[in-house]
Amino acid sequence: MSALTYPLAHLLGGLVLICAFALLSQRRLAAMITLYQFEAVTLTAAAFWQGFAQHELALFLTGFITLIIKAIILPIGLRYIVKNFNITRAVETAMPVGLSMILGVGLIGIAVYVVLPITMSAVTLTREDLAISLSVVLLGLLVMTTRRNALSQVIGFLSTENGLVLAAIGMPGMPFVAELSVALLVLMAFLVMGVFLFRIREHFENLDIAGIESIEKQGR
């Protein structure tokens, strides 16, 4: 590996982590989609760089799939939903943005505390990539938890999956078929979620899940 392998891999992984963390501070769907798209583009660059560093053709294919599906198709689909539903107001959150960002910092600390001690025998690059990847996964789950808008929860889910892909490309020997199946699964899940969002829109006139929660309470 060249002298730039570790620094550039850490830089790209760090940018993905920053994007995932920045999602917690956003209340506008347009900004969240832009951040997700930049996260996907950075993940694409990370896959290409790991493919070059590990001399793995499969990682170049992973980067190409990530670019097409995550950085192009999914953002276009998300923006289409925002435009079609005319969602321009700020997304309601389950807790203050400042508190969610504090929790995000705590989750990053937990990820580092959990991963680094149990991967002492692993390659340094792999250890740090796994810590970053777990942080991205946890931050994505936090976005899903703290947002009441269904579309913003979808973005949190997609960010979580980016963390899983980041972990996969940082681990030498990951089968390409596994990465391809995950990408196709995400695309199918997005299509199903799109249908689900349209059904919510038909019944509640918006994508706020508070309407669903109120019906559940009345049913009890």
Write the burial class of residue 201 (CB in 10 Å: 0-12 exposed, 13-18 middle, 19+ buried): middle
Pick from 16-25, 153-162, 177-186, 206-215: least confident? 206-215
Per-residue pLDDT at 213 exceeds 70: no
pLDDT of residue 55: 83
CA gap 118, 159 in Å, rounded:
25
Backbone angles phi, psi at 147, to 5 degrees: -110, 135
Q: Residues, the chain, total? A: 220
pLDDT of residue 12: 92
Angle, in degrees to the nearest 10, between helices 57-65 and 176-204: 10
Instruction: Assess contact for 145 and 94: CB atoms under 8 A.
Output: yes
Identity of the residue numbered 75: P
Confidence of residue 41 (pLDDT cuts 50, 70, 90): very high
pLDDT of residue 101: 93
Query: What residue ranges do the domains of the chain occupy?
Result: 5-219
pLDDT of residue 29: 87
pLDDT of residue 215: 44
Instruction: Assess contact for 143 and 155: CB atoms under 8 A.
Output: yes
Q: Is the dihedral of CA 49, 19, 171, 123 positive or negative?
A: positive
Token digits of residue 30: 């347009």
User: Over the chain, what is the mean pLDDT?
Assistant: 78
pLDDT of residue 91: 72
pLDDT of residue 216: 45
- For the ranges 30-44, 62-76, 158-172, 173-187, the maximum mean pLDDT occurs at 30-44
CA gap 63, 204 in Å, rounded:
38
| Integer angstrom CA distances of residue 194 from 44, 71, 154 | 24, 17, 9
Confidence of residue 19 (pLDDT cuts 50, 70, 90): very high
Give the pLDDT confidence of 152-201 residue by residue, as tens digits: 888 888 898 888 888 888 776 555 545 555 666 666 666 666 656 655 55
Confidence of residue 212 (pLDDT cuts 50, 70, 90): very low
Instruction: Assess contact for 51 and 60: CB atoms under 8 A.
Output: yes
pLDDT of residue 102: 93
Instruction: Assess contact for 58 and 183: CB atoms under 8 A.
Output: no
Q: Which residue has the higher pLDDT, 76 or 215?
A: 76
pLDDT of residue 150: 76
| Integer angstrom CA distances of residue 79 from 73, 82, 84, 125, 137 | 10, 5, 8, 35, 23
